[in-house]
Amino acid sequence: MPGTASASIVTGIVFAPLGLVLVFTAAITPQWREGQARLGRVGTGVGESRGIELLLLRSDGLWESCLQVVHSELRECWPVSGAYQHDSRVRATRGLVLTSLFLCGSGIVLASVGARCWTDTPLRNVAGAGGLLVALAGVLSLAALSIYTHHLPKLAVELVSNMSDFQGLDLHKLPSLALRPAGSLYFGWVGAWVQVLGGLALLFGVGRPQCPGRTRRVQREIVMKAYDVSC
């Protein structure tokens, strides 16, 4: 059915960029894992006995790590370094994510060129190749996220004690952080599945009958030939 083909191709063209944006957002944000440590309490005014408990929030991404004291303006971020940066699992995750972004971008370009339903001659093979690249990008994103999530508790934690905003705080005396998955991972999971669905939608649409414009043109040609024969 031509309508089904068009709907499938349009769905793929919409889903593919959406998945690319979500995976890219996950890649550049430093919330792949996070943990908290207690810093103690500070008073909020005269006569306050309990005060506010300050928490040190640590978060790590693929390219950046951050420390922030909750309920304050103290925040510092720096490029990942040390054992965490050179961990083979982190490096594998980064490589897979970069490859996924490149393949998805290339697939979107091919799909846009090939799925030309506004013309009479869509390039189905080109659109199908684009869908295949987008689906493959989603699979690579899922692989990267699976590797990072599975090994998250084993990845090293580098404490940086020479940061300007945290002078006077001995970070090495803080209790160990219980790190857990954070928001960037969830963006990545959603984006990866959207990429897979978008790629499959493009492949499904390519295998369908030709676009409505071409179908109508062929029908007109058949009617005209029949008219010429009858005359």
Band of pLDDT at residue 227, cut at 50, 70 and 90:
very low
**Is 229 a domain residue?**
no
| pLDDT digit string, tens, across residues 145-190 | 999 999 888 887 665 544 555 555 555 555 566 788 889 999 999 9
Q: pLDDT-based confidence at 223, cuts 50/70/90?
A: very low
Q: Is the pLDDT score of 229 beyond 50?
A: no
Q: Which of 53, 91, 48 is nearest to 69 (CA)?
A: 53
In this structure, is residue 231 part of a structural domain?
Answer: no
Q: Give the structural domain span for 189.
A: 2-224
136 domain-assigned: yes
Q: What is the dihedral of CA 213, 215, 217, 222, to 10 degrees?
A: -170
Q: Is residue 153 part of a domain?
A: yes
Q: Does residue 230 sit within a domain? A: no
* CB contact burial 65-79 (16+ within 10 A = b; e otherwise): bbbbbeeeeeeeeee
> What global pTM score does this model have?
0.76
3-state secondary structure of 57: strand
pLDDT at 158: 61
Burial class, 121, CB count within 10 angstroms (exposed 0-12 / middle 13-18 / buried 19+): exposed
CB 123 within 8 A of CB 116: yes
Task: Measure the CA–CA gap between 99 and 78, rounded to whole angstroms.
Answer: 24
> What pLDDT score does 124 carry?
74
In terms of pLDDT, which residue wins out, 26 or 214? 26
Asked whether residue 49 is domain-assigned, the answer is yes
pLDDT at 169: 55
Coil vs helix vs strand at 210: coil
- The domain total for the chain is 1
User: Do the Cβ atoms of 88 and 162 come closer than 8 Å?
Assistant: no
Question: Domain with 130 in it: what CATH number?
Answer: 1.20.140.150
Highest mean pLDDT among 108-122, 128-142, 152-166: 128-142
Residue 143 resides in a domain: yes
